[in-house]
Amino acid sequence: MKVRISLLVAVVLMMSVQFAAAQETITCEEGFWLFDHERLASDPVCVPDNPQRIVSLDMPATEFLLLNDIPIVGVFGYAADEISAVTPGLADELKDIPRFDWPPSLELVTELNPDLIVAFKDSSLFYSGMEQIAPIVVYDAAYATDWKSSTSFWSEVFHKEDAYADMLDTYNARIEELQTALGENRGELKVSAFVPSPTYPMMWLVDSAQGIVLNDVGLGRPDSQATNFADGGYVEGGADYGFVAISEEALGLVDGDVIFVFTYPSTDAAENDEINTYLKDYYENDVVFNALSGVEAGNAHIVGPHWFRAQTYLAANLMLDDLFTYLTDVEPTVPSPAAEYMTPAEASS
């Protein structure tokens, strides 16, 4: 038995050495550099030094590219729509960029002739074949769905680490100011994040983008949202993405000292009216929801759809704006970086 174990160890060590040697032999042609990262969902990739035709199939990457004036030639339609809905000041920059449905079309990717494709890892693996068109960098979110993890990653891809450092400094300064306003006992305040729906009500857990922002502030969470394990009252689906769906009968799971209620973003006027009408009606008339202690105490608040897409820098800062508004009586002194993007560009100019 000892001989077999020793042989196995030797084989594993040999394979590790061979793998390391193979990585060391990867070379990139002139004008490219080798990118590797713990959250890269592939082998190291040769990335252009100064890409000028980028297809962006990731929402945080799209926002980061826009904020840093890096050219995009194609984008996921849902990402363009939701960024435009959450931060309308960016809508003009997105309106003329060709859009991809889900899954993206290889024919359109080819037609756009990108020099770099950026994307997030998806279980359907629908990026197959794109590496034949242009280098592709795929971010593996795993359980790090927050804006910091993704934006740090993309800043390295585009050599914009200084831009990310400035973002992080602003975010941390706002967090510190909010913590001071909330006081040392802020962890005792249980904050719930809830999306009502006639078919798929959901609550967001500690490892979601929303949960990480709340944790950064130091706020508490209801016990039901302080884990990503699907226990009693949950229904199937969502846990891998930081949320779980619940049944109406288990609505007590979303109770908290404060409950933030929100829905998904849309730029379609009719759809937007429909979902906001439903949200208002639910908030005012759902019997089970209105029996929750947080609602009865007057501490349930409808907030914007930026809570739904809190994995971007601007959306996370809009969350902080809401936390200042609803949890403190303090006017923040560190300006919100999202403020300038909250009205259409034509109106703000």
Give the least confident one: 24-33, 170-179, 235-244, 340-349: 235-244
Global pTM?
0.88
Q: Mean pLDDT across the stretch 139-148?
A: 79
Residue extents of the structural domains in the chain: 24-159, 184-338
Is the pLDDT at 86 greater than 70? The verdict is yes
Contacts by residues 103-107 (CB-CB < 8 Å, ≥ 24 positions apart): 104/57, 104/76, 104/130, 106/130, 106/133
* Same fold? 24-159, 184-338: yes
For residue 345, the model assigns a pLDDT of 64
For residue 344, the model assigns a pLDDT of 82
Q: Mean pLDDT score of the chain, rounded to an integer?
A: 88
How many C-beta atoms surround the C-beta of residue 78 within 10 A? 17
User: Which fold does the domain 24-159 belong to in CATH?
Assistant: Rossmann fold (3.40.50)
For residue 140, the model assigns a pLDDT of 87
Cα–Cα distance measured from residue 241 to residue 14, given in angstroms and rounded to the nearest whole number: 37
Is the pLDDT at 36 greater than 50? The verdict is yes
Is the pLDDT at 107 greater than 70? The verdict is yes
For residue 227, the model assigns a pLDDT of 72
Is the pLDDT at 8 greater than 50? The verdict is no
For residue 334, the model assigns a pLDDT of 96
Q: What is the pLDDT of residues 245-290, one digit of tens each?
A: 888 888 999 999 999 999 988 888 898 889 899 999 999 999 999 9
For residue 142, the model assigns a pLDDT of 67
Cα–Cα distance measured from residue 204 to residue 309, given in angstroms and rounded to the nearest whole number: 12
CATH architecture label of 184-338: 3-Layer(aba) Sandwich (3.40)
Cα–Cα distance measured from residue 113 to residue 74, given in angstroms and rounded to the nearest whole number: 10
User: Regarding predicted confidence, which is higher, 304 or 7?
Assistant: 304
How many C-beta atoms surround the C-beta of residue 311 within 10 A? 27
Cα 210 to chain centroid distance, Å, stands at 8
pLDDT-based confidence at residue 239 (cuts at 50, 70, 90): low
Is the pLDDT at 143 greater than 80? The verdict is no
pLDDT-based confidence at residue 177 (cuts at 50, 70, 90): very high
Q: Mean pLDDT across the stretch 293-319?
A: 96
Among 149, 202, 190, 234, smallest CA distance to 308 is for: 202
